[in-house]
Amino acid sequence: MQARTGAVSRMAGWVRAHWRLLLGLAVSAASLYYLLRTVDPTHLWETFRRANYLYFLPAALLLVGINIARALRWRILIGPEPALGLRRLFSFVNIGYLFNNVLPAKAGEVVRAYLVGRVVRGGVGRAASTLVVERLLDLLTVVVLMVLLMPLVALPPWLRNAGWTFGALAVGGSVGLVVLARVGPRGLDWVWRFIGRLPLVGHPRVKEAVAGLLEGFAVLTDLRVLGGVALWSAVIWLGYAVFNYGLMLAFHLRLPFAAAATVLCATGFSMVVPSSPGAVGPFEAAAVLALSLFAVAEGPATAYAFGLHWFTNITLILYGLVGLRQEGVSFAHLRAGALPAASPLPAAGEEIAPRRAGAPDA
């Protein structure tokens, strides 16, 4: 009896420690069941067999260009840092996608913050603040995309409502943080006179985290910086729309470009839903729902959704492995150093691995 009680206790502890992973797996499983319950596997296979895979090569090259654009935008957000040239940031972007696609809970964002935090002033906190700004910019761009699609496509209520909800939260939060960043520490002290009274939220560590976040948002108070990140955000998401359209051609879906943008919008919002590593399940379900607006049958739509998602994930994983090689660090070493269950986060200025002699950063 005592042994059984101990086993139950250990199991309960494991569930508490991994509840986010379990929730994500449950959401992914439910999404895949909903998606595949009425699809004929024979028709699905036939669609894959007939696909024109020559389109995959330019699509893979386009992903390189999109990630370069992400690195350029990230460099603007970080600001001048001699140790962080474009080539190295490009590697970090690819490494982040590798970890996002094989580990749960957006582990790649933690890894990216860790990598940059070792070589910039302000450490991991400053690096993480730029990633929060990046995510808000992506969310705002998807909302703008949704607004542009409204005159062209009869968007379903769930997509419109999700867009307006997330858009309002992103705009409101961004404006508030930019204003506080503009005012400086005095503004945060004034806000904390009220927030500091709340349990948990008012903890001094929370205030420190918000102060670090404001440092990341401070760059957006410069109109030239704001214009630069807005431009690259538009380039990034236009690239994704072209990528989606290219894969539609590969699967013989002769649809307007608005269909590719609608899939992008729907799958973009699906990424905020808890899921398994790589967002398997919610992504495919959102893509199929988006294609149903253009009267695409479930079989071809499901084949396209799986083809789009798996090709993207596998390609990004391969690029991430190249990024690890360029940085001279192994997956296991980086996982042990960066993720919460491993060693404490490093201070700024520490290098993750020796750089090869004679290999200057771009």
For the segment 79-96, what is each residue's pLDDT rounded down to a tens digit? Answer: 888 888 999 999 999 999
- Kindly state the average pLDDT of the residues 176-203: 75
pLDDT at 346 over 60: no
Q: How confident is the model at residue 161 (pLDDT cuts 50, 70, 90)?
A: confident
pLDDT at 44 over 90: no
Confidence at residue 245, expressed as pLDDT on a 0 to 100 scale: 98
pLDDT at 54 over 50: yes
Confidence at residue 122, expressed as pLDDT on a 0 to 100 scale: 75
Confidence at residue 173, expressed as pLDDT on a 0 to 100 scale: 76
Nearby residues of 33 by Cβ (< 8 Å), 6 or more positions away: none
- Of 50 and 341, the structure prediction assigns the larger pLDDT to 50
Confidence at residue 359, expressed as pLDDT on a 0 to 100 scale: 40
pLDDT at 164 over 50: yes
Do residues 297 and 40 lie in contact, with contact meaning Cβ atoms separated by under 8 Å? no
pLDDT at 196 over 50: yes
Q: How confident is the model at residue 351 (pLDDT cuts 50, 70, 90)?
A: very low
CA 114 distance to own-chain centroid: 16
- Kindly state the average pLDDT of the residues 340-347: 43
Tokens of 345: 């986060």
Tokens of 314: 């596998």
- Of 178 and 326, the structure prediction assigns the larger pLDDT to 326
pLDDT at 343 over 90: no
pLDDT at 117 over 60: yes
Lowest mean pLDDT among 74-78, 94-98, 146-150, 222-226: 222-226
> How large is the angle between the packed helices 86-102 and 298-327, nearest 10 degrees?
130
- Kindly state the average pLDDT of the residues 41-68: 94
Lowest mean pLDDT among 47-56, 237-246, 345-354: 345-354
- Of 285 and 7, the structure prediction assigns the larger pLDDT to 285
Q: What is the pTM of this model?
A: 0.83
pLDDT in tens, 296-314: 998 999 999 999 999 999 9
- Kindly state the average pLDDT of the residues 217-223: 76
Do residues 115 and 335 lie in contact, with contact meaning Cβ atoms separated by under 8 Å? no
If you average pLDDT over every residue of the chain, what do you get?
A: 83
Confidence at residue 4, expressed as pLDDT on a 0 to 100 scale: 62
- Out of 187-201, 245-259, 270-284, give the one with best mean pLDDT: 245-259
